[in-house]
Structure 1
Amino acid sequence: MPQSARYAYPDAIVSTAWLADNLADPSLRIFDCTTYLRYETGTGRPYRVENGREDYDRGHIPGSAYLDLQGELSDPSSRYNFMMPEAEDLAARFARKGVGDGTRVILYARKSPQWATRIWWMLRSIGFDDAAVLDGGFDLWEAEGRPTETAETRYEPATLAARPRAGLFVGKDEVKNAIGDGATCTINALAPDLHQGDNPRYGRPGRVPGSVNVPAAALVDAGALTFKSPEEAAELFQSVGADKSKSILLYCGGGIAATLDAFLLHQLGYANIAVYDASMSEWAKDETLPIERG
């Protein structure tokens, strides 16, 4: 196990204790980012998207607002769920929710931090860097007996200029062109059964040829839902050949789980990281794109 690994941007991960001590900070913009995927069979779609608003209304971290990823922050014209809007459009949407210069954003979710890391990666892609993910999310907050409230928080609209970072999100062409390229490591963040092709959830079962598997769930402690240690995360990525000298392409089912991998790779100091936004929701249904199993 690598002993020298560390998280390079510790301010981007905050603990429940830190948040509890800083709830009164007027610069904080705290958001519950929870979304649920209700997996279905016989419907022609891999899952039904359900926002977490009902759970938010039943109880949330005091002072936090709710972000509906699909309903408020995704491209409504896309045939795929959760696709990124244009940078200026996305910045305007975040600004309407109270995110702007001089604010510090804290993102949390329930059941998995991948919903918080997705929004963190989106913010980074438009040039907003003062955001952090709550380690352990709402589940740990509640397990520790910390206070909750049911009153809705709405932040005053702010001003946020987009400063887009190119290359944080890519499409199928970039992924296809990287097949067989030894300078690129393509990582699938889905569960092993999906990677191996034992589960046809997204259409044609299988994976992008040559891609390796680091499931997002393997990067999180199953009990506390906190991120694995830097040493554990580094070992997982290094074990599949994800060297820092390579460009890293990440995909999953719809660009969500891949951002958890991306977030920790960024924390580990990897420089060239991109998420395939449509992921297997597109790739598995496009017969012109290669796929492999086993």
Structure 2
Amino acid sequence: MTSHPRLVDVQWLRDRLDDPSIRVVDATVHLTFDAEGAHTESGRATYREAHVPGATFADQLADLTVHDGEAAFEAAPSDQFARVIGDLGIGNGHTVVVYDHVNGIWATRLWWQLELEGHPDVVVLDGGLKAWQDAGLPVETGDTTYEPARFTPSRSSERIASTADVEAATQDGSVLLINSLDRESFAGGRIPGSVNVPFGELVDEQGRLRNLDELRPLFESVGALDPEVAPVTYCGGGIAATAVAFALKGLGRDDVAIYDGSLNAWTADPARPLEQG
């Protein structure tokens, strides 16, 4: 079986909890849906109820998102990101282990933001807090903090796509737009020319990433591993898209960009077309 180079299991983390070069980060955001749409809530309260020993909490909603940007979850600018991450005690020399409480998409969102700002030493805990608890390992309550560190960002502009970039991509055969939502949502409305790799099909019933040998045919079937195309992933708000980018990273694609505004930004202008069916 082929393993993901940026994915770690609970035993790996358990063996390294006392390593001062490691920072464990709970990245949880709670996302719910009802008749009025999507709702998000910070995971800080559930973090305080139970977290991996030594884990700090990154409030992606409050601190790492631009709330008056192009869309609801626009990534914070580099200087803001660096200040927040540094205040959490994360410096450029740390190995960062990210996890969440739910299905991994918020962990991969923080993984992507760290890589976007030039920090390559980031791994995701497979299965998140559930896997940790299922293994019978202890948790902590309350808050864990570290002395502030210096984080110097170096943004990789090719890892993020704007609406203008995506508009151009719809007329450019060298760019592959990958919709990361479920197949029903994809059929209901997508950016023209998109293919579909649902993020929910990347994980098993326990929320763990499927083996790369299982995932490869899924990505091959839509042309995402073709070296002649540049993948751009998107979803509703730029969160689930990072899970697909993370899987592609494991399959050797280091050139995946996230359309950060995703459909929230695309559909803000009714003149922009959508394909259906």
Of the three residues 193, 211, 224, the one matched with 1:210 is 193
Are the equivalent residues in 1 in contact too, given 2:47–2:142 (CA < 8 A)?
A: no
Tell me the equivalent position of 1:201.
Answer: none
Tell me the equivalent position of 1:17.
Answer: 11
Are the equivalent residues in 2 in contact too, given 1:246–1:272 (CA < 8 A)?
A: no
Tell me the CA shift for residue 273 of structure 1.
1.1
Tell me the equivalent position of 1:252.
Answer: 235
Provide the secondary structure at the position in 1 that maps to 2:74: coil
Of the three residues 60, 64, 68, the one matched with 1:73 is 64
Tell me the CA shift for residue 180 of structure 1.
4.0
Provide the secondary structure at the position in 2 that maps to 1:107: strand
Write the deviation string for residues 14-63 of structure 1: whole angstroms up to 9, x where unpaired. Answer: 11011111111122111111111121324xxx311111122111111111
Scaled by the length of structure 1, what TM-score is found? 0.90
Q: Give the 5 Å matches for 1:262-281.
A: 262-281=245-264
Provide the secondary structure at the position in 1 that maps to 2:133: helix
Scaled by the length of structure 2, what TM-score is found? 0.95
Does residue 51 (structure 1) correspond to residue 34 (structure 2)? The answer is no
Of the three residues 34, 41, 47, the one matched with 1:40 is 34
Provide the secondary structure at the position in 2 that maps to 1:22: coil
Tell me the equivalent position of 1:238.
Answer: 220
Q: Which segment is superposed worse, 157-166 or 84-93?
A: 84-93
Tell me the equivalent position of 1:194.
Answer: 185
Tell me the CA shift for residue 161 of structure 1.
0.8
Which whole-Å CA distance do the structure 2 matches of 1:261 and 1:254 have between them? 14
One-letter amino acid of the counterpart of residue 67, structure 1: A
Do the aligned partners of residues 245 and 270 (structure 1) sit closer, same or farther apart at CA in structure 2, a change above 3 Å counting?
A: farther
Provide the secondary structure at the position in 1 that maps to 2:66: coil
Are the equivalent residues in 2 in contact too, given 1:207–1:292 (CA < 8 A)?
A: yes
Which whole-Å CA distance do the structure 2 matches of 1:30 and 1:270 have between them? 25
Tell me the equivalent position of 2:111.
Answer: 120
Which whole-Å CA distance do the structure 1 matches of 2:164 and 2:45 have between them? 38
Which whole-Å CA distance do the structure 2 matches of 1:79 and 1:254 have between them? 10
Are the equivalent residues in 2 in contact too, given 1:190–1:215 (CA < 8 A)?
A: yes
Tell me the equivalent position of 1:229.
Answer: 211
4+ residue segments displaced more than 4 Å: none
One-letter amino acid of the counterpart of residue 111, structure 1: V
Write the deviation string for residues 49-88 of structure 1: whole angstroms up to 9, x where unpaired. Answer: 1111221111111111111111111113326322112222
Q: Which segment is superposed worse, 17-26 or 77-86?
A: 77-86
Tell me the CA shift for residue 264 of structure 1.
1.4
Which whole-Å CA distance do the structure 2 matches of 1:102 and 1:270 have between them? 24
Are the equivalent residues in 2 in contact too, given 1:70–1:81 (CA < 8 A)?
A: no
Which whole-Å CA distance do the structure 2 matches of 1:109 and 1:101 have between them? 22
Tell me the equivalent position of 2:25.
Answer: 31
Provide the secondary structure at the position in 1 that maps to 2:244: helix
Which whole-Å CA distance do the structure 1 matches of 2:130 and 2:233 have between them? 26
Which whole-Å CA distance do the structure 2 matches of 1:271 and 1:28 have between them? 23
Identical counterparts, % of pairs: 38
Does residue 292 (structure 1) correspond to residue 271 (structure 2)? The answer is no
Does residue 219 (structure 1) correspond to residue 210 (structure 2)? The answer is no
5+ residue gaps, structure 1 = 198-205
Which whole-Å CA distance do the structure 2 matches of 1:207 and 1:277 have between them? 15
Are the equivalent residues in 2 in contact too, given 1:29–1:155 (CA < 8 A)?
A: no
One-letter amino acid of the counterpart of residue 264, structure 1: A
Provide the secondary structure at the position in 2 that maps to 1:26: coil
Provide the secondary structure at the position in 2 that maps to 1:280: helix
Are the equivalent residues in 1 in contact too, given 2:179–2:197 (CA < 8 A)?
A: yes
Write the deviation string for residues 121-143 of structure 1: whole angstroms up to 9, x where unpaired. Answer: 10001111111100111111111
One-letter amino acid of the counterpart of residue 216, structure 2: A
